[in-house]
Each structure stands twice: as structure tokens, then as C-alpha cells.
Structure 1
């Protein structure tokens, strides 16, 4: 997770072995379980995911084929907000090149390295945020949506998305 000031938050999972889509790692995380159980650190807040994520009331995805001006505005706002997150991830990777070449057999050890880098990154953001390199352009994942969870959870996600779309009608 990441905050609006481009710092990373420590409710994360860095222990998934191998190369897995973020949506799968998230769906198997303690954070996802807590959110599924109703925990909300920010009651009106939502997480944003790409089209590979399963939509929930706490996690919103883009609309695949927007039909109305409000849906187009929703998608534009979703994309702008997610681009800040992608930018922060790019800055993290560019600042700490060891992450791109991290080849460790023990996932727990790799997780500790990633946590340490995140702590150093956040301290650097506190000390001198202008000193960060420009991020490399990240490609959005084009994966089929996760279809995990109940029909009720997907319906609650769609209801929340409709509330957000209605905000863009104004």
C-alpha cells in the first residue's frame, strides 16, 4: 500500500515466492483478509487496482468499456491516481537498483530486504524528496480480472463503483 505523499505503508506482503501478479498476492494477503472481514482504516477510502484485481467495495478497478461521460471521468480519475502509485514504485526501483536484480532463494529473506529498502526509501522521502530519480514508465498489467470472492462481494464492489461514478455526474 502507498499513501498520497508517495511513501510506502507497512501493511504489505513481500513474501510471495516467484513472479506472481499483484492481484493474486493481494488476494492471499492478511490485509485483504482484514478488509474482507470489514476492517476499514479510512471508512470512506478505497484501494485502486488495475483490471487484474477483483472489484470489491474496498477495492475499485477501471470500467472496461465506459459508456457515459461520468464513466469516462471515473476512469480518467482512476488512471491519474494510479499513475501516482506507479510513479512511486518506479522511484523505489530506480533509487534502489538492488530490487531489480534481487535473486534470493529464501522468500522470507527477500521480504526482509524489501522491507529494509522501503524503510530507507521512506526516510529519504522525509529528508529530501526532490533528490529522487525520475521513474521509468511502467506498463499497466493486462490480466483477466480475479474472480475470487463471493457474488455478494463483487456486487458490493459494483455498488461502490456506481456511487463513485455518480460523483462524476455532477
Structure 2
């Protein structure tokens, strides 16, 4: 099976088709990193900014994504099976069902006030690290830890596709660009005087 970058997988997904057909209510958008194309339903960060309203917008955009990464990290930390490859005899359909079931169990645990995910047991860590199919390590996330004021680990190898601008041809990317919502949100950040916090010690 050939791996694809985020934007290529998204462009061929049923979710993309449904978004094109108007899945979201007016003025609602998804927030994606620069692996995605800024569009009528997806807002991405501004590239190459340093200071000013666009940089402030990028900061608050990243804060939303960090919270999602934290939630994903908690889910993966609670269920170690999500950090290793699924056995070959489990179909994609069953894998999707498994992930949905684990997400529902995870939400149940949170609703039952079990919000803190315990560190994995030593034997679980040993199993994952010696598993023939490999595993994804949980890495301390300084940004998330500072945001939530506690130590947070995230599966970095599963998060943050990065800037995959080479996945989509330039002419396709230009044709798909729609800057209305990103501009609207940037103006909101500016009009409400939201600014990127100063770095500590500066």
C-alpha cells in the first residue's frame, strides 16, 4: 500500500466530497496546517509571516491545533494499540470500527472524571518497543505542556504532516485557493486586539 501525504488523501476522501456539497453551516470552517489547501471550508496558516496581524492569526490558529494534538495524544496514550501497526488480518473497516470504539470509550472515561491518563505500564512500553511492526513513541510536547500547565506527551510521528506543498500541483493549488474565511478571521484577530504573547524573558 502506497502512503500518501495529508492533502492527497484528503482530496480523494468522502469528507472532501461532502464538504464541497455544503456539509458545514455558513461561516463554519475546519482548521488545518499547511499540508492542506486554504479553501471555502478549510483555513490554514499564512506562510512566511513575521509580526503583524497575520502572525497573530497564525499564533491563535496554532493554539487550536495544539489542543487537538493534546486530545489525540491522550487517546493514543490511553490505548497503546493505537501506537503500533494493526495486525494484517484486520481489515480497514474493522480498524475504523476499533478506533471509533476506543474514542467512545475514551470519552466515557473523561465523562466519568477520569481525565488524567496514567503513564503506560513498563511491560506495555516494552511490548510496544519490541513489537516486530514497530511503535510510535510518545514525545514530551513543550508547547502543549505550557498551554495546559502540565506535562503532555504526543505521538509526534502521527501528527503534524508539515508543509506538503509539493503534493498538489501549483496550478491546482491556485485554482482551489479561497481566502475569504482566513481573511475574515485575521481581521477579527486584529479588530479584537488579540496579539501573540511575548516570549518569556524578552
Report TM bin, short chain. 0.7 to 0.9
**C-alpha separation in 1, matches of 2:4 and 2:108:** 28
Q: How many angstroms apart in 2 are the aligned matches of 1:143 and 1:152?
A: 18
How many angstroms apart in 1 are the aligned matches of 2:82 and 2:62?
25
Within the alignment, does 1:58 sit opposite 2:41 as a pair?
yes
Task: Judge conservation of contact 1:51–1:144 (CA < 8 Å) in 2.
Answer: yes
Partner of 1:153: 176
Count, aligned residues: 151
- C-alpha distance in structure 2 between counterparts of 1:164 and 1:46, whole Å: 10
Q: Which runs of 5+ in 2 are unaligned?
A: 119-151, 192-202
Measured after TM superposition, the shift of residue 151 of structure 1 is 4.7
Give CA-to-partner distance per residue, 1:113-163, whole Å, 9 cap, x none: 112111111211221243335432636322323537675531x2x122111
Q: Within the alignment, does 1:111 sit opposite 2:96 as a pair?
A: yes
Q: Tell me how far 1:94 sits from its aligned partner.
A: 0.5
Larger-gyration structure (1/2)? 2
How far apart are the structure 2 equivalents of 1:120 and 1:140? Answer: 25
Cα separation, partners in 2 of 1:83 and 1:127, compared to 1, 3 Å: same
Of 123, 126, 144, the residue aligned with 2:111 is: 126
CA shift at 1:53, angstroms?
A: 0.7
Tell me the distance in 2 between the aligned counterparts of 1:142 and 1:151. Answer: 19
CA–CA distance in 1 between the matches of 2:190 and 2:31? Answer: 20
Instruction: Identify unmatched segments of 5+ residues in structure 1.
Output: 1-16
Q: 2:21 aligns with which of 37, 41, 53?
A: 37
Please tell me whether the aligned partners of residues 104 and 110 of structure 1 are also in contact (alpha carbons under 8 angstroms): no
Q: Which residue of 32, 56, 76 corresponds with 1:93? A: 76
